[in-house]
Amino acid sequence: MAGTTGGLTVRDVVVRYAGSRRGGGTTAVDGVSLAVDAGEVVALLGPSGCGKSSLLRAVAGLEPLAAGSVAFDGEDLAGVPVHRRGFGLLFQEGQLFPHRDVGRNVAYGLEIQGLARDEREGRVSELLDAVGLAGYARRAVTTLSGGQRQRVALARSLAPRPRLLLLDEPLSALDRQLRERLALDVRATLQDTGTTALFVTHDHDEAFTVADRVAVMDGGRLLQVGTRDELTSAPSSERVAEFLGV
């Protein structure tokens, strides 16, 4: 693993889902260890059903661990509820609040934190500028395109300055051309804000665009972790090479 003095450390994590009364439970994540250093973006890449979203949900605290541990900045998160972890979540559907305009959607987490109004407005303006939506604060979210909605959702997830941002297929509902453009924007925004992030995707081009390193998963296991050059020039197995198309 990478350095473990800061950021996220996942050790030997197992996630299981119970089956029916007749049995047939599933091991979704099978002994995965991974580190994400402070300020680093790591993508979990693999086909549907490989366990990448289950691993992300376990990090968030949304799925219980059958074994292993999740820690952040050296603190074991066992027993720490989702809302106490200081993590941001962004899913495929941004789930914006339709009764709030763009600015108030972005400000939602800041209101919960109790930030003064002028501080909230400054942070909202800063983030809307970062995601390419300067001047949109008073727009109704119902008037936005799908790509604009995801930009607002990204700004909202970043507003409270999360220790770790967890993104689960945030671009997969968009058309290919828009996904490629937004992947570049997501990368730039995460870099500009210095955000530590774990990014789930099934698209290797998207993973290589957004992330510093990519963790390839299949069958609940972590097959290889590396940069684009490392993975494409020296895949650790035929399965990794096949999935990456190299």
Residue with tokens 């002994």: 31
DSSP one-letter string for 9-39: EEEEEEEEE--BTTB--EEEEEEEEEEE-TT
User: What is the reported pLDDT for 24?
Assistant: 62
Question: Does a structural domain hold residue 113?
Answer: yes
Question: Does a structural domain hold residue 140?
Answer: yes
Share of the chain above pLDDT 70, in %: 95
User: What is the reported pLDDT for 243?
Assistant: 87
User: Tell me: the pLDDT tens digits for 114-149?
Assistant: 999 999 999 999 999 999 999 999 999 999 998 999
Give the residue among 59, 60, 49 at the shortest CA–CA distance from 17: 49
Domain that holds residue 113: 96-161
Measured at the alpha carbon of residue 166, what is the angle toward residues 160 and 168, in degrees to the nearest 5?
130
Question: Does a structural domain hold residue 139?
Answer: yes
Average pLDDT over residues 26-55: 96
Q: Report residue 196 as tokens.
A: 């530590």
Average pLDDT over residues 177-190: 90
The confidence band for 3, taking pLDDT boundaries of 50, 70 and 90, is very low
- Find the range with the poorest average confidence among 17-21, 78-82, 87-91, 100-104: 17-21
Instruction: Give the mean pLDDT of the chain.
Output: 92
Question: Does a structural domain hold residue 129?
Answer: yes
126/202 Cα distance (integer angstroms): 31
Average pLDDT over residues 173-181: 85
Question: Does a structural domain hold residue 12?
Answer: no
Look at phi and psi of residue 135 and say left if phi exceeds 0, alpha if psi is from -120 to 50, else beta: left
pLDDT at 21 over 60: no
pLDDT at 4 over 50: no
The confidence band for 56, taking pLDDT boundaries of 50, 70 and 90, is very high
205/10 Cα distance (integer angstroms): 25
Kindly report whether the global pTM for this prediction surpasses the value 0.85.
yes
Question: Does a structural domain hold residue 19?
Answer: no
Q: How many domains are contained in the chain? A: 1
Question: Does a structural domain hold residue 125?
Answer: yes
Average pLDDT over residues 27-47: 96
Question: Does a structural domain hold residue 201?
Answer: no
